Chain A
Amino acid sequence: MSHIPALRARFDEDCQSFANEVLNGADTETAGRLRHRFDEFKARYLGKKGEIQALLRQMGQMTAEEKPLFGKEVNLLRDHAEAVLSDLSARIEMAEVSRQLAGSKVDPTLPGTGIPLGSLHPLNQVREEIIDYFVRLGFNMAEAPEIDHDWYNFEALNIPPEHPARDMQDTFHVGEGVVLRTHTSNVQVHYMLANRQAPLRMIAPGVVYRVDNDATHSPMFNQVECLVVDEGISFAHLRGTLGLWAESLFGTGTQLRFRPSFFPFTEPSAEMDVSCPFCQGKGCRVCKQSGWIEIGGCGSVDPNVFTAVGWDPERYSGFAFGFGIDRIAIIRYGVPDIGMFFRNDTRFLRQF
């Protein structure tokens, strides 16, 4: 019986010196080697051939009275050894992990690498946003030729040859009766000819061309055209629809202002202004102190347009509006020169 306390004392001492040795010298040994030494140490006391197991073998020579008492003492010793070693194991593991972490040479302030990220053109971002808004409202997207016959770009839109209204849009000509479209309004004509069933709800983004080139005009630019045709469509519907859209684009509370204007294919015709989103209409640099920003033209479909495409103007009415995507992007991003959109300088493109 007396060797049990002696063994316990020896185990404690042994364990203490082993712990000191491995934990302090941990950085000179590999993780696997440490683990191996620990397992060896553990086996010396708790293994099948270990010293604690050897104690049990002495039980054979003991009396029936001695046996339970001895067994209990041995079990207590084993529990003690297991607890101490499990604690030591955890400490060795922790030391190992700390060592791994400390070895990292990563400089977290260096930039990340290897993952390229491109960009979408700002004009197309705005274009997509506008299309998606109207598609959600049930509008169908439409396209039409960029090089078009005069009839679709002008005549069917109530702009006869030699009409002074042609001066409003300086036109590129490519041949007899063929022009680069000056507006996306030609899509109205193609669309009404191709779709004969009311109601019509059309959204048509596209590239258009005019003979013009300065800081605010590009000979090619992007427009969006909207057309709604049904029985009973009114000018008030135009104002309501545009008001809703302006709020979606420029924020809740955006105000709408119409100024009378002239487009041969709409009547009444209006220029549409929105309250300046930068100053909420108080006046700032962007709106040139006016509180308003002009964003496009609109109006009720002129009866002559309906007649040209074979819709009955007595039965149907409609509204149309068109605006420059480029202009909206200029306002949104504060781009000083429209030409920058088409120069494709990566210092510009990567900002979007």
Chain B
Amino acid sequence: MLVSLNWLRHYVRLTASPRDIASTLTSLGFEVESLKIAGEGVTGVIVAEVRSREKHPEADKLSVCRVFDGEQEWQVVCGAPNVAAGQKVLFARVGAKLPGGFSIKKAKLRGVESFGMICAEDEVGLGEGHDGIFILPDDAVTGMPMHEIEGLCDVQMEVNVTPNRPDALSHLGLARELAAHYRLELNVPSRVLREGSEPVQDAVRLEVSDDASCPHYVGRVIEGVTVGESPAWLKTALRSVGKTPINNVVDITNFVLLEWGQPSHAFDLDTLSGAKIEVRRAREGETLTTLDGVERRLTSQDCIIADAEKPQVLAGVMGGTLSGVSPATQRIFLETAYFQPTMVRLQARRHGLSTDSSYRFERGIDYLTTAGLSDYIAASIAEVTGGQVRRGRLESESPLHPKQAPVVPLRPDRMRKLLGVNIPTGEMAAMLAGIGIAQAENPTDGEKLYFKIPGYRGDIAREADLIEEVARLYDFNRIQGALPSFTLGAGSLTPREQLSRTLRHVLADLGLQEAMHLRFTSQKLLAKLGLPAEDIRLNPIRLQNPLSEDWEVMPTTGLPNMLQSLLHNQNNQQADVALFEIGKAFFPQPKTKARDNGNREEALLTLAMMGAWPAGDWQGEAREVDFYILKGLIQNLFRRLHRPLRFGPGCVEPFLHPKESLDIFVQDGQESIKVGWMGILHPRSQQPFDLKRKVAVAELSLDSLLRLPEARQGFKAYSLQVASLRDFNAIVPETMRHEELLGRFHPPAILENIGLRSIYRGAGIPEGHKAMHYELVFRHPERSLTDEEVQAAHEGIKAEIAADGLIRFN
């Protein structure tokens, strides 16, 4: 809400500096988000009178003026077109300081000396105006410093009011808080209402058929009004908070809304059919053109104010064009009401509106002052329009609507215990009284005090609410911090966090960078994976109100977003990329219990690599990321996870290269659990993501991994005997796999290990074949081996491998 300090000063005589007032409001819970201090940084600017104006002898656009500052006359050269003799102006004397550190010096303009400057609005920080000099009213006192001119140098604050404090959506409400803080008197405005003799009932009838939506409605009639321009004070007040004056009637209703927080509405009584006001639900199909020019189709959910025929106002939200006040209006029906907050909120939202009025009604305005403020507004309108208020009010009040302030008990001991600070009971009561919360006359029953809660503090209904007020008024920062004491208890991480940390730290140590994506994706991006229609990953959870098409659904795999990030890096000349992320996938599932969220979350590790590995190698040992690098990473990862890894025979993911991909399992006794997949991206999937180089990807489900416990192996004794090393170079058909080759022989007991050293294709190796060089380690656990034993085992293995003639050795 925009607040004017000059306006606040009508209710409380604030003497503190604008910055102090702003920081006080913030410390009271009303955060001042911005502060505009008119005339800040200006000194030496005073009211002066232009005694004469003559054309500059050497310049058409300049004039030479004689300016009187109350003591003497100065010659001033002025460039503004609107300067004229007889004006009262703002005059910056030689030595004056203007915003931005600009200071006024004696000058010579085209040969004419100038002693000071006649100022435009923007030059003295009063506004934006720069078309000409700023002209003061004739009654301005010559010689008076600019800052002492009443109402000229205002301070505008933008105050952020939390939803629990609708009372502070008004100048009076904030003035009340400031008065209590600075221990100043609060001057509550009042007006004497002079009623005519004709009773209001003769002019119009009131019928409230929906008193659940409208618990309290008050109508008054003002006749003989002259609708026209508002008086200066009213226009100044509205402008000071950025409102445009419209006419004296509308301006009064707007003024009171910003003064008291009470919305009201003025109807042109003569436009109302049947001299009747009805508060009712709309009938299906009825329409209303609201002041914003929109024709709205109403439903029976809408609460409206109607005349005898049709809807005139969307209750609590916005008036209609038909019955609005116009320059021709002579008789006014004034509505002052308390509308039910939720009704207004729903109604405003249904129609896509949020108005000053609905904003306050939905947060809850003062429910005890409706009638009193009706009188106040009627008197104000009568005063500015010269009208006459009819005798009496039309009033409808629901029997359920509270008619007096509720009483809330407070146990001072409990307050002290919950706040952890020893605030004396008397001090507490005094602080509450300062903001209008007085002790009730109920007897103090030992440990409890009772407080009467004013109608503007609908947020206070319980002891806890009062305790909060006490803490707020006492100042949170005066409460000394203390540490709670507990019986010892070991803190713990969740199993998922422990697993996730292991994965993240190993992968970062292995050279990958951890990424983080927004957990949104799009159906379009998912479609690029080429999944079959029935794949659950194509059935994501959809947002009802997505921010954009790219973020319309929740992810079902981390892959599409990860590939987008590879693309981003590729497009930014970052060719070598290795990213991983632990994210989430979400899948719809039927609701089975009350408050079921209807989905299943799965934590996923996704990784993607592209380019040289390791990056930044100049010795020529880096390779293009390939299947084996990826597989090596996964194998290392599982060694650190202490879970037995098994690769499936292949992988059916359609977005992976059919021959360069594997399913990943963990083994639990006889049972295998699939935990993910890895492989090279299928060219068909690489292309739609615009990726230029080979991409290695993998995804693991943390939740599947967690289904199996860690299986840490104990120490295994190793042989201290000397090993015998042998090797062989097998020429095998290209189609033969490593594991097939190893499966061709029965490993003798003394074979400790057989490891592939290299694969060679090319010169000397027949077409369609490869040379696989293996190293064999023979060792006996307890004794040394003889050459003969080793030789026999080595030859035996080779013989078995070569038995069918498919493979030979060289």
A234 contacts B482, CB within 8 Å?
yes
Contact status B509-A145, CB under 8 Å: no
CA distance A235 to B597 in the complex (A): 33
Contact with B along A273-286 (1 / 0, CB 8 A): 00000000000000
Which listed residue, B29, B514, B515, B520, touches A260 by the CB 8 Å rule? B29
B579 at the interface (CB under 8 A from A): yes
A120 touches B514 (CB 8 A): yes
Residue B464 at the chain A interface, CB threshold 8 Å: yes
> Which residues from chain A contact B487 at a C-beta distance below 8 Å?
199
Residue from A147, A199, A243 with most neighbouring chain B CB atoms (10 Å): A147
Cα–Cα, bound, A163→B162 (Å): 12
Q: Mark B335-364, 1 if CB is under 8 A from A, else 0.
A: 000000110011000000000000000110
In the assembled complex, B481 has its CB within 8 A of some CB on chain A: yes
B597: which A residues are within 8 A, CB to CB? 145, 147-149, 178
Contacts of B565 in A (CB 8 A): 343-344
Q: How far is the CB of A162 from chain B (nearest CB, A)?
A: 5
Nearest residue, chain B, Cβ from A294: B31
Report Cα–Cα, A269/B511, bound state, in Å: 44
Residues 134-170 of A, flagged 1 when their CB comes within 8 A of B and 0 if not, give 1111111111011111011000000000111101100
Contact B464 A267 (CB under 8 A): yes
B420 interface residue, CB < 8 Å from A? yes
Q: Is B598 an interface residue (CB 8 A)?
A: yes
Most chain-A CB neighbours within 10 Å: which of B345, B418, B505, B565?
B418
Question: CB-nearest residue of chain B relative to A318?
Answer: B484
Alpha-carbon separation in the docked complex, A140 to B618 (Å) = 48
A230 to B598, CA, bound (A): 33
Known: A120-B504, A145-B601, A172-B543. A258 touches B477 (CB 8 A): yes
The stretch from A23-31, A64-72, A82-90, A110-118 touching chain B is: A110-118
Does A317 interact with chain B (Cβ within 8 Å)?
Answer: yes
Known contacts A236-B481, A239-B480; A141/B420 CB under 8 A:
no
A146, B420: Cβ atoms closer than 8 Å: no
Cβ–Cβ < 8 Å partners of A5 in chain B? none
Contact pick for B512, options A118, A146, A163, A269, CB 8 Å: A118
Contact of B486 among A121, A178, A230 (CB under 8 A): A230
Q: What is the CA–CA distance of A350 and B513 in the complex, to the nearest angstrom?
A: 7
Across the interface, do B514 and A349 meet the contact criterion of CB distance under 8 Å? yes
- Chain B positions within 8 Å of A216 at CB level: none
Across the interface, do B29 and A142 meet the contact criterion of CB distance under 8 Å?
no
Beta-carbon contacts under 8 Å, B418-454 to A: 418-421
A121 x B516 contact (CB < 8 A) = yes
Output the nearest chain B residue to A218 by Cβ-Cβ distance: B518
Let me know if A201 is at the binding interface, CB within 8 A. yes
User: Which of B481, B483, B493, B541 is the one whose CB lies under 8 Å from A135?
Assistant: B493
Interface 1/0 per residue, A2-37 and B, CB below 8 Å: 000000000000000000000000000000000000
Does B655 make an interface contact (CB < 8 A)?
no
A349 to B562, CA, bound (A): 14
Segment with Cβ contacts to B, from A41-49, A50-58, A123-131: A123-131
**Which of B27, B599, B613 counts the most A-chain CB atoms under 10 A from its CB?**
B599
Query: Which of B492, B510, B598, B619 is in CB contact (< 8 Å) with A178?
Result: B598
Known contacts A115-B614, A201-B486, A346-B574: A234-B491 contact under CB 8 Å: no
Does A303 reach chain B (CB closer than 8 Å)? yes
Q: Does A261 contact B (CB under 8 A)?
A: yes
Q: Is B192 an interface residue (CB 8 A)?
A: no
B477–A346 CB distance below 8 A? no
For chain B, the count of residues having a C-beta within 8 Å of the partner chain is 96
CB of A220 closer than 8 Å to a CB of B = yes
CB distance from A6 to the nearest CB of B (A): 54
Q: Which residues of A contact B464 (CB under 8 A)?
A: 267, 302-303
> Are B491 and A137 neighbours in the complex by a CB distance under 8 Å?
yes
Residue among B484, B504, B613 with most chain A CB within 10 A: B484
Main secondary structure of the interface of A (DSSP, over half): mixed
Contact in complex: A259, B569 (CB < 8 Å): no
Return the contact of B472 from the options A117, A209, A268 (Cβ within 8 A).
A268
In angstroms, Cα B417 to Cα A113, docked, is 63
Known: A116-B613, A138-B488. A239 touches B479 (CB 8 A): yes
The answer to the question of A207 belonging to the interface, with a C-beta cut-off of 8 Å to chain B, is yes
Contact A347 B574 (CB under 8 A): yes
Among B504-551, those with CB < 8 Å from A are 504-505, 507-520, 541-547, 551
Is B59 at the interface (CB under 8 A from chain A)?
A: no
Of B228-236, B494-502, B783-791, the one with at least 4 CB within 8 A of chain A? B494-502
Known: A234-B418, A262-B29, A342-B518. A118 touches B511 (CB 8 A): yes
Residues of A within 8 A of B363 (CB): 164
A295 in contact (CB, < 8 A): no
Residue of A nearest to B160 (CB): A261
Do B496 and A146 touch across chains, with their CB atoms under 8 A apart? no
- Taking CB atoms and an 8 Å cut-off, the chain A residues in 245-271 that contact chain B are 256-262, 264, 267-271
B476 touches A260 (CB 8 A): yes
Residue A60 interfacial (CB < 8 Å): no
Partner of A236, one of B421, B472, B493, B504: B421
CB-CB under 8 A from B584, the residues of chain A are 146, 207
Q: Is the CB of A256 within 8 A of B481?
A: yes
- B120 at the binding interface (Cβ < 8 Å): no
Q: Which residues of chain A are near B480, meaning CB under 8 Å?
A: 236, 239
A300 proximal to B (CB < 8 A): yes
Whether A239 contacts B481 in the complex (CB less than 8 A), given A172-B543, A261-B29, comes out as: yes
Say yes or no: is B723 at the interface (Cβ < 8 Å to chain A). Answer: no
**Residue B243 is within 8 A (CB to CB) of chain A in the complex:** no
* B163 close to chain A: CB less than 8 A: yes
> Do residues A124 and B516 form an inter-chain contact, with CB atoms below 8 A?
yes
User: Which residues on B sit within 8 Å (CB–CB) of A128?
Assistant: 501
Contact B491 A136 (CB under 8 A): yes
Given contact pairs A113-B621, A147-B541, A119 touches B513 in the complex (Cβ within 8 A): yes
The CA of A330 and the CA of B458, in the complex, are separated in Å by 39
Whether the pair A211, B547 counts as a contact (CB closer than 8 A) is yes
Which residues does chain B contribute within 8 Å of A119, judged by CB atoms? Answer: 508, 513-514
Q: How far is the CB of A329 from the nearest CB of chain B, in Å?
A: 11
B709 on the interface (CB 8 Å rule)?
no
> What residues on B are CB-neighbors of A241 within 8 Å?
481, 483-484
Contacts of B615 in A (CB 8 A): 116
List chain A residues, Cβ under 8 A from B494.
Answer: 141-143
A38 close to B (CB within 8 Å): no
Residue of A164, A165, A211, A242 near B545 (CB, 8 A) is A211
Per-position 1/0 for B361-375, Cβ under 8 A of A: 011000000000000
When the two chains form their complex, are residues B420 and A235 in contact, meaning their CB atoms are under 8 A apart?
yes
On whether the beta carbons of A116 and B614 are closer than 8 Å, the reply is: yes
B28 partner, pick from A139, A178, A243, A260, beta carbons under 8 A: A260
Given A113-B619, A120-B504, A173-B545; A152-B595 close (CB under 8 Å)? yes
Contacts of B569 in A (CB 8 A): 344-346
B305 to A: closest C-beta gap in Å: 22
A192 is an interface residue with CB less than 8 A from chain B? no
Q: B471: which of A143, A203, A235, A243 is its contact (CB, 8 Å)?
A: A235
Is B482 in contact with A236, judged by CB distance below 8 angstroms? yes
CB distance from A314 to the nearest CB of B (A): 9
Contact residues in A for B504 (Cβ distance below 8 Å) = 120, 124
Q: A138-B486, A149-B595 are in contact. Are A236 and B420 (CB under 8 A)?
A: yes
Interface string of A177-204 (1 = CB under 8 A from B): 1101000000000000000000101010
B513 contact from A146, A177, A302, A349, Cβ within 8 A: A349
Having A143-B497, A148-B597, A342-B517, one finds 15 other A-B pairs with CB under 8 Å, namely: A142-B494, A147-B597, A162-B346, A173-B543, A207-B584, A235-B476, A240-B482, A259-B476, A260-B28, A267-B464, A300-B418, A342-B516, A342-B518, A346-B579, A347-B572
Residues of chain A whose beta carbon lies under 8 Å from any beta carbon of chain B:
110-111, 113-121, 123-124, 128, 131, 134-143, 145-149, 151-152, 162-165, 167-168, 172-175, 177-178, 180, 199, 201, 203, 207, 209, 211, 213, 218-220, 228, 230, 232-237, 239-244, 256-262, 264, 267-271, 300, 302-303, 317, 341-347, 349-350
